[in-house]
C-alpha cells in the first residue's frame, strides 16, 4: 500500500476486502449523517414533525442519508482516499445540500399523494421548497453544518482506524493545505466555496440566534375617551370610513353594539389572524342581548375583499400595539368596566392589553398565539428573529385546497410569514414585561383547547404561571380533547363548528362564573 503525498491516506483498490470496506463505510456514513439530521429536525420541532412544512423525520432521514452516502462516495470511496478533512467536507456538503433536497423531496411526495399540493406546476413547488430551505438553513444550518462536518471527520477517522486493510495510524504525515491543494484548481475552488458558504451560514445563524429581539418600543400612551357620546361617535366614524372603502369586504367592517347609553360592562373582541370582525358577530349579539356594550374592531390590513391581497405583508408589531391601544381608548367611554377578549392572534393582543392597560378590568385569552406549536421554547425567539431577518413569503393555511379551502368566505386563505414574526415579537414583549412586573389588568382568564393543533397550550400555561406568581388573579378553562374542537372555536362559518357548546362557556367565563 502506497502513501500519496499530503494528509490523505491512499489505500490500494486491490482486494475484495478493501473494496467492501469502502462500500460498507459509505453506507455507514450516509446512515449516520441521516440519523443526525433527523434528530436535529426533531429537536427543533419539539419532538414531532412540522405539519405546516410537510417535513417528517422519515423524509429527513432518507433524503439526508442518500445525500450523505453520495457525497462520501464522491469524495472518499471513488478516490480510495480517506482523511478527516475529506470526511468533514462530505459532512458539511451533506448538510448544505440536505436543506435543499429535503423540501423538494417533501413537495414531490405530497404532490404525488395529493395532486396540486404545492401549486399547479413543478416550478411552483421548486420555488416554494427553495424558499423554505433557505429560511430553515438560516434557522438551524448554523448548528447542522458544523455538526455534520465534525461527524464526517470522526467517521473518516473511524474508517482509518477500523476498516480492514487501512492505515491504523490516526495522524498521517501532515503538510500545509496549500501544498495539498496546489495544482488542483477545481478542488481548491470547491473547498474554498464550501468553507466560505459554511462560515457564512454559521456566522449569520449565530447572529440571528444571539441578536436581541427588540421589544422595548412596543408601547403606546393611553388616551381613553371618558364620554359615551364621544366613544360612539368615534367608533361610528371608523365604521363609516371602512364601509366607504371599496377595497374592504362589507362584512368585515368594525362592529359596535350598544343599548344607546353608558353601561356597566363593555367587551372588546379582537378577531383572529387573517379573519375579520364577522367572526365574533353571533357571540357579540348574545352579549349585547344581556346588556353589554360590545365593540369588534377590524385588525390592521385585514378584511379586504381580495382575499389574496398582499396588504397583510406589511403588518408590524408596532402597528398592532397602536391598534390595540387605540381600540381600548375608543371603547373606554362605552361603560364603567372594560373586558378585552381575543382569539389566537387576537388573544396575543388581549395579552398585551392585560400587561399594559390598567383601565382594563378583565382579559380573556382564547387560544392565544404565544409560541409556534411543535417547537421547543428555546427555539421560538430565534425563530422569530429568523422569520423577520429573511425575505417575506406566503404560506397557505390549507396547502392542498389553497384559495379553495372550506371556511369563512371573508378569511384570508394564506398568510405572510413576517406577520407571524410580528405576532411573535409582540408575544415576547408581553413575556418580557410579565417577567419584570405584575400585569396591569387585575383578572386574566385563559381558555385552552386540548384538541388545538395550531398553538402551544404549554406556552399559555407558562404565561399564566408567570402572571400568577406576580400576584394576578388567573383563571383557566380547558375544552377537553374528546370534543375535537378546531383552533377557531368562534367563527360560525368555520367547518365542524360547535358554537352552541362554546359560546355559553365563554359567556360564563366573561361573567366570572365557573362553567
Domain ranges for the chain: 9-210, 228-510
* 138, 204 contact by CB (below 8 A): yes
- Chain centroid to Cα 315, Å, comes to 16
Give the separation between CA 313 and CA 419, rounded to whole angstroms.
Answer: 6
CB 298 within 8 A of CB 337: no
**131 pLDDT band (50/70/90 cuts)?**
confident
- Residue 256: its pLDDT value, please? 98
Structural contact between residues 11 and 160, judged by C-beta atoms closer than 8 angstroms:
no
Length of the chain: 515
Mean per-residue pLDDT over the chain, rounded: 84
pLDDT value for 328:
98
The pLDDT of residue 184: 61
Helix (H) or strand (E) holding 395: strand 394-396
Question: E strand or H helix at 127, and its extent?
Answer: helix 122-162
- Predicted confidence at residue 333, as pLDDT, reads 97
Q: What is the pLDDT of residues 69-99, one digit of tens each?
A: 999 988 888 877 888 888 998 999 898 888 8
Helix/strand number for the chain, H first, E second: 14, 11
CA dist., res. 249 & res. 306, Å (int): 8
Judged by average pLDDT, the poorest of 202-211, 281-290, 486-495 is: 202-211
385 touches 206 (CB < 8 A): no
Which range scores top for mean pLDDT: 103-107, 146-150, 275-279, 385-389? 275-279
What beta strand segments (E) does 436-487 contain?
A: 443-449, 473-479
CB contact set of 162 (below 8 Å; sequence gap of 6+)? none
pLDDT per residue as tens digits for the range 174-191: 344 444 555 566 666 766
pLDDT category at 171 given cuts 50, 70, 90 is very low
pTM: 0.79
Residue-by-residue DSSP string for 263-316: EEEEEEEE--TT--GGGGHHHHHHHHHTT-EEEEPPPTT--BSSTT-SGGGG--
Does residue 400 carry a pLDDT above 80?
no
Is 338 or 514 the better-scoring residue by pLDDT? Answer: 338
pLDDT number for residue 288: 97
C-alpha to C-alpha distance for 258 and 278, rounded to whole angstroms = 17
Is the domain spanning 228-510 CATH 3.40.50.720? The answer is: no
DSSP assignment letter at 74: I
Least confident among 31-40, 185-194, 290-299, 380-389: 185-194
- Quote the pLDDT of residue 507: 97
Amino acid at each position: 500500500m502506497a502513501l500519496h503525498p499530503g494528509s490523505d491516506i491512499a489505500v490500494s483498490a486491490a482486494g475484495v476486502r478493501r473494496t467492501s470496506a469502502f462500500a460498507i463505510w459509505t453506507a455507514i456514513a450516509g446512515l449516520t449523517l441521516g440519523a443526525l439530521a433527523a434528530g436535529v429536525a426533531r429537536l427543533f420541532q419539539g419532538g414531532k414533525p412540522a405539519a405546516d412544512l410537510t417535513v417528517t423525520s422519515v423524509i429527513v432521514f432518507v433524503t439526508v442519508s442518500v445525500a450523505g452516502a453520495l457525497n462520501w462516495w464522491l469524495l472518499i470511496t471513488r478516490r480510495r482516499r480517506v482523511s478527516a478533512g475529506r470526511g468533514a467536507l462530505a459532512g458539511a456538503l451533506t448538510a448544505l445540500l440536505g436543506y435543499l433536497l429535503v423540501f423538494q423531496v417533501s413537495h414531490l411526495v405530497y404532490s404525488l399523494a395529493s395532486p396540486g399540493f404545492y401549486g399547479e406546476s413543478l416550478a411552483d413547488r421548486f420555488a416554494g421548497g427553495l424558499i423554505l430551505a433557505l429560511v430553515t438553513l438560516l434557522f438551524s444550518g448554523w448548528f447542522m453544518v458544523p455538526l455534520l462536518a465534525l461527524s464526517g471527520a470522526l467517521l473518516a477517522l473511524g474508517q482509518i482506524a477500523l476498516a480492514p486493510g487501512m492505515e491504523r495510524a490516526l495522524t498521517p504525515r501532515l503538510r500545509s493545505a496549500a501544498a495539498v491543494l496546489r495544482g488542483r484548481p477545481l478542488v481548491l475552488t470547491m473547498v474554498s466555496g464550501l468553507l466560505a458558504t459554511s462560515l457564512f451560514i454559521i456566522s449569520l445563524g449565530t447572529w440571528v440566534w444571539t441578536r436581541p429581539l427588540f421589544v422595548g418600543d412596543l408601547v403606546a400612551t393611553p388616551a381613553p375617551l371618558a364620554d359615551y357620546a364621544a366613544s360612539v361617535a368615534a367608533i361610528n366614524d371608523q365604521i363609516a370610513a371602512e364601509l366607504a372603502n371599496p377595497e374592504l369586504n362589507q362584512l368585515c367592517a368594525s362592529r359596535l353594539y350598544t343599548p344607546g347609553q353608558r353601561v356597566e360592562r363593555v367587551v372588546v373582541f379582537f378577531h383572529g389572524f387573517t379573519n375579520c370582525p364577522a367572526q365574533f358577530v353571533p357571540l357579540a349579539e348574545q352579549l349585547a342581548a344581556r346588556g353589554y356594550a360590545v365593540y369588534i374592531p377590524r385588525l390592521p390590513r385585514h378584511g379586504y375583499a381580495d382575499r389574496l391581497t398582499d396588504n397583510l405583508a406589511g403588518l408590524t408589531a408596532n402597528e398592532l400595539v397602536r391598534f390595540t391601544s387605540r381600540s381600548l381608548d375608543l371603547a373606554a367611554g362605552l361603560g364603567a368596566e372594560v373586558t378585552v377578549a381575543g382569539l389566537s392572534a387576537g388573544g396575543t393582543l388581549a395579552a398585551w392589553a392585560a400587561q399594559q392597560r390598567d383601565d382594563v378590568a378583565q382579559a380573556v385569552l382564547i387560544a392565544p398565539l404565544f409560541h409556534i406549536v411543535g417547537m421547543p421554547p428555546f427555539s421560538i425567539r430565534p425563530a422569530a428573529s429568523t422569520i423577520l431577518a429573511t425575505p417575506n413569503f406566503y404560506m397557505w393555511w390549507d396547502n392542498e385546497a389553497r384559495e379553495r379551502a372550506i371556511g369563512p368566505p371573508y378569511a384570508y386563505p394564506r398568510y405572510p410569514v413576517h406577520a407571524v414574526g410580528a405576532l411573535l415579537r409582540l408575544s415576547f414583549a408581553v413575556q418580557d414585561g410579565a417577567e419584570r412586573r405584575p400585569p396591569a389588568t387585575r383578572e386574566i382568564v385563559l381558555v385552552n383547547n386540548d384538541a388545538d393543533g395550531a398553538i402551544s397550550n404549554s406556552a399559555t400555561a407558562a404565561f399564566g404561571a408567570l402572571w400568577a406568581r406576580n400576584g394576578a388573579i388567573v383563571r383557566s378553562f380547558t375544552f377537553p380533547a374528546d370534543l375535537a374542537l378546531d383552533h377557531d372555536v368562534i367563527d360560525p362559518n368555520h367547518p365542524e363548528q360547535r358554537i352552541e357548546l362554546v359560546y355559553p362557556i365563554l359567556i360564563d367565563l366573561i361573567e366570572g362564573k365557573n362553567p
